[in-house]
Structure 1
Amino acid sequence: MNPFVFNTTSQVVFRPGAATQIGGLLGPRFGERILFVTDGGLRKIGLCDPALASLGDAGLAVTVFDAVEPDPSLVTVQAAAAAAKSAGATGVIGFGGGSSLDVAKVVALVCGSGEDIDGAWGVGNARGPRLPLALVPTTAGTGSEVTPVSIITVGGDEKRGISSPVILPDIAILDADLTLGLPPAITAATGIDAMVHAIEAYASRNPNNNPLSRMLARQALQLLGANIEKAVFDGKDQAARGAMLLGSMLAGQAFANSPVAAVHALAYPIGGTFHVPHGLSNALVLPHVLRFNASAAASSYAEIAADAFPDLSQEQDVTQRCAAFVERLGDLSARLGLQSRLRDVGIGEEHLAGMARDALKQTRLLVNNPRDVSEADALSIYNEAW
């Protein structure tokens, strides 16, 4: 067995209604002045209100920063950090989808340490310390509440990542009630995103791929595969919503330690350049990347196929089970109502070559892929997805 390191969030609270008790869950370590990072949409519909009321009841002074956008920009991070410094924040809460959680992570880092963001990009470059940090996901997809990664858009359309255990939060609060009103399309896209995390973590070529991550990836796929259609088509099913939230978190723990690969690398230009939501970007290239990887990863994909789709356990041949797994994932996206082709989201064939060049910049991800990816390979995959 290879040596490995496994890091995760130190405390996880999983129960319906937990966000309404957040003031009592934080404890004295967060101090008395909180920066609450979220997006304007959640603020407008009142989803934040019970959590903010709980913080007020606990006697905490709260500054709300609600300007987080999808694929958050460096400008947004800097504005949120300025708000935290102006308020003298002693702790940070990220409340929302992966964008809000990612911004909260970076704000906690730069306000706690004073370090320059430019020096923190990449793997293991963030020094810390950071401010106390709590993350509350309102989607079941990114797993950001248990990952040491924050993805920020710089220069208009380039995505950069900070990856360091320093930005793992002190507490993750999983409240299925927060996801009950999530629209079907977002539920589907974020659910597929979580499945991608589990699949890529399981098959990752990263030297830190480890038994804990593989175990968590399989449990995640079992929960996600069994509940994603229920959650999409009956959004008020609290049990299904809770299972999706837990599955997303388990997948997050898996890929936080056994990192993702080419699906994400090829998805980034789709999101960064064309502003397609991250989960949908992954779904658009998922079956095509896995088909490309099959010559190197068929056994891994065959091992997890029945976790997501139990009836595939009847298929004994590894190659055929792998192929069936890939096809079922593509079919699942279509059944959930997601667009299935790049052209469906406004990407022209003339854009594919530039996307392939941009995807190859994601070296921190591509090194984890089971099979080496050249620019020509990336272009071929995009052509298949177009």
Structure 2
Amino acid sequence: MNHEFRSVPRIICEPGALQALGEVFRGLGAQRVMLVCDPGIVSLGFAGQAQAVLQASGCEVAVFDQVTPDPSSAVVEQAASQAKAFKAQGVLGLGGGSSLDAAKLVALLCNSEQPLEQLYGTDKALGKRLPLVLMPTTSGTGSEVTWVSVITDPQNKKQAVYSPQLLPDVAILDPLLTLGLPPKVTAATGLDAMVHAIEAYTSRTRKNPISDGLATAALTLLGSNLRKVLADGNDLQARSAMLQGSLMAGMAFVNASVAAIHALAYPLGARFHIPHGHANALVMAPVIRFNRPKAQRHYAELAACVLPGQSFEDEASAAEAFVQAIESLVNDSGLQLRLSELKVDEASLPTMASEVVVGIRRLIDSNPRDMNEQDVEAIYRSVF
């Protein structure tokens, strides 16, 4: 029962919440706003909408729109340099997890002389960041409510910054911004959010009652709405539920930890630039089945979230039904689910397995079942 729980101080969730941006930044005392996003957010018109709302409220806005998937340290440093030159007083992250992660670090670097590489790890950041508002356009990463930012270093390795300064002042959820999300992005990000909830609930290291409650509530929303948004991307009620589920799953995992699914996904993103949610989806089902012997009780408890109203003979049958439900969701996602289809070369599998067990040890330690290099390589090969 001993635990520490951190969260964002303010959350706004409603259709049209983008229109509140001016009021929010005025309340934070920021009149010069750096907007951090990717080129897709510009082409969809969302960056322009945000810029117009901010300018109408009297804010000056500069836009950095070159964030890439799994953003590199060079991209983050370029954005921070541009924000410093603009003399930004606040930062708006708008987009998917990569844009939000980059925006967090921009807000921190703008108010610090620390080089980026000194921030890698836990609680390495000194001083305060600029006022920060995060606005997701996907329902997956939960980055808008976490104090972690993951980027790729020049050696193509994932580096994570864990710092309470990365929690934003305000998280804004506007489901209208998710209506145009393509089905494959919807599937990948939705499964990513489900992974967050499942791994938080089964964590061996920082599992706690608050994260448990958030994880089960999140998984219930996500499990009952993912197929709906895949069938009809304009279902506003289901899109709202996915956004809220993603947010709650983010709050759960950042306080309880993720585990082996994320550990196996990281090298796929860093080495082969597979989007994070898709990388999680590739290994999600086999890792969950691998964990079943040690996670049976927790899986049985989670069965009600994804199979509401169903009854089971015993704990074992409930756990198996949960695993099968996840396998079915992944298989029906419409995503490519073989590493070989995504240009992953077979020779890299042992190297990635070693990276996971040695270099991402903290996540393997959170996994409900112990895992060695042979186990990891076998899982990679099962989806090759």
Band the TM-score falls in, shorter-chain normalisation: over 0.9
Q: Among the aligned pairs, what percent are the same residue?
A: 48
Indicate the larger mover: 17-26 or 243-252.
17-26
**Which residue is equivalent to 2:346?**
349
Match of 1:307 among 305, 308, 315: 305
| Aligned residue in 2 for 1:193 | 192
Whichever residue aligns with residue 210 of structure 1, its letter is: N
Cα deviation, 1:104-144, whole Å, max 9, x if unaligned, reads 00111111232222221112222331111000000000000
How far apart are the structure 2 equivalents of 1:34 and 1:365? 35
- More divergent stretch after superposition (153-162 vs 27-36): 27-36
Pair 1:164-2:163 in alignment: yes
Alignment match, 1:177: 176
Following superposition of structure 1 onto structure 2, how do residues 361-372 of structure 1 map, counting pairs within 5 Å?
A: 361-372=359-370
Displacement after TM superposition at 1:373 (Å): 1.8
Please give the alpha-carbon distance, in whole angstroms, between the structure 2 residues aligned to 1:289 and 1:115.
Answer: 38
Per-residue CA deviation, residues 224-252 of structure 1 (Å, 9 max, x unaligned), is 01100111110011000000000000000
Structure-2 residue corresponding to 1:72: 71
How far is 1:29 from its partner? 2.2
Amino acid at match of 2:312: E
**Aligned-residue offset at 1:156:** 4.4
Q: Comparing 30-39 with 302-311, which one deviates more in the overlay?
A: 302-311
Q: Does residue 271 of structure 2 align to residue 279 of structure 1?
A: no
Q: Distance in 1 between matches of 2:268 and 2:324?
A: 22
Normalised by the size of structure 1, how large is the TM-score? 0.96
Q: Residue 130 of structure 1 aligns with which residue?
A: 129
- 2:138 and 2:73 mapped to 1: Cα distance? 22
The CA deviation at 1:65 is 0.3
CA distance in 1 between partners of 2:30 and 2:76 (Å): 22
Letter aligned with residue 67 of structure 1: Q
Within 2, Cα distance between the matches of 1:112 and 1:323? 50
Read off the aligned partner of 1:319 and give its amino acid letter. A
Q: What is the CA–CA distance in structure 1 between the aligned matches of 2:271 and 2:325, rounded to whole Å?
A: 28
> Displacement, 1:322?
1.7
* Aligned twin of 2:330: 333
Letter in structure 2 aligned against 1:383? R
> Match of 1:95, SS?
strand
> Corresponding residue for 1:217?
215
Q: Cα 1:309–1:341, aligned 2, differ >3 Å: closer, same or farther? A: farther
Q: Helix, strand or coil for the counterpart of 1:314?
A: coil
| Equivalence map 1:144-159=2 (5 Å) | 144-159=143-158
2:238 maps to amino acid: A
Task: Pick which of 319-328 and 210-219 moved more.
Answer: 319-328
Contact 1:21-1:51 at 8 Å conserved across structures: no
Deviation digits for residues 158-201 of structure 1, max 9, x if unmatched?
11101121110000000000000000000010000000000000
Structure 2: stretches of 5+ with no match in the other structure: none
Ranges of 4+ aligned residues in structure 1 off by more than 6 Å: none
The residue type paired with residue 144 of structure 2 is: E
Name the SS for the 2:110 alignment partner. Answer: helix
Equivalents in 2 of 1:81, 1:162: separation in Å? 16
Cα distance between partner residues in 1 of 2:269 and 2:203: 22
* Distance of 1:128 and 1:142 partners within structure 2: 26
Is the contact between residue 81 and residue 111 of structure 1 (CA under 8 Å) also seen in structure 2? yes
**Contact 2:226/2:242 (8 A) holds in 1:** yes
Any idea what SS the aligned residue of 2:111 has? helix
Query: Does the aligned pair in 1 maintain the 2:25–2:31 contact within 8 Å?
Result: no
* Mapped partners of 2:81, 2:56: distance in 1: 26
Q: How does 1:234-313 map to 2 (within 5 A)?
A: 234-310=232-308, 313=310
After superposition, the CA RMSD in angstroms is 1.3
For the Cα contact (< 8 Å) 2:285–2:330, is it kept in 1? no
Q: Distance in 2 between matches of 1:364 and 1:129?
A: 27
Q: Distance in 2 between matches of 1:174 and 1:202?
A: 24
* Residues in 2 aligned to 1:50 and 1:24: alpha-carbon distance in whole angstroms: 15
Give 2:11's aligned residue: 12
Question: Does structure 1 retain, via aligned residues, the 8 Å contact 2:306–2:325?
Answer: no
CA distance in 1, matches of 2:330, 2:362: 27
Return the alpha-carbon distance in structure 2 between the equivalents of residues 316 and 117 of structure 1: 53
Structure 2 vs 1, CA of residues 176 and 229 (structure 1 numbering), >3 Å: closer, same or farther?
Answer: same
Kindly tell me the number of residue pairs found equivalent between the two proteins: 383
Which deviations, in whole Å up to 9, do the C-alpha atoms of 1:3-34 show, x marking residues without a partner?
A: 11110111000010011221112234242211
Give the aligned partner of residue 140 of structure 2: 141
**Aligned match of 2:94:** 95
CA offsets, 1:43-95, max 9 Å, x none?
02212222111100111111100000111000000000000110011111100
Match of 1:377 in 2: 375
Q: TM-score, normalised by structure 2?
A: 0.97
Residues 14 and 105 of structure 1: CA distance in aligned 2, closer, same or farther (over 3 Å) = same
CA–CA separation in structure 1 for the residues paired with 2:279 and 2:322:
19
CA contact (8 A) 2:17 2:173 kept: yes
